[in-house]
Amino acid sequence: MTKKEIVALAADEAGISKAKAEVAINAAFDGITSALKGGNKVTFVGFGTFSTSHRKARIGRNPRTGESIQISASYVPKFKAGKALKDAVN
């Protein structure tokens, strides 16, 4: 499912225009992104939790040349599904 399809579904469910639904969905995504940038968790009870995880610096290999390269430390987003979502999928 694409963002465009989610916007259309939200517009139909809420009885609003697609433009208004897209604004609302973009605001939600921006809010989640902003919270994660600030190091906070975002929890939707029953759906899941968005958080960040720290990856340490490490040495990797260029698969083409076999040369060792330094991969810098970084923060990566992660998502843990909630019980209701897991149950709905299964």
- pLDDT, tens digit (0-9, with 9 covering 90-100), for 18-46: 999 999 999 999 999 999 999 999 999 99
- Here the CATH number for the domain that contains residue 88 is 4.10.520.10
pLDDT, one tens digit per residue, over 38-70 is: 999 999 999 999 999 999 999 999 999 999 999
In terms of domains, do 47 and 89 share one? yes
CB-based contacts of 23, cutoff 8 Å, min separation 6: none
Q: 54 and 64 in one domain?
A: yes
Task: State which residues form the domain around 32.
Answer: 1-40
Q: Clarify whether residues 49 and 35 are in a common domain.
A: no
Tell whether 51 and 14 lie within a shared domain. Answer: no
Name the DSSP letter for residue 56. P
Do both 54 and 88 map to the same domain? yes
pLDDT value at position 72? Answer: 96
Cα–Cα distance list, 5 to 25, 58, 78, 81 (Å): 12, 39, 23, 21
pTM: 0.81
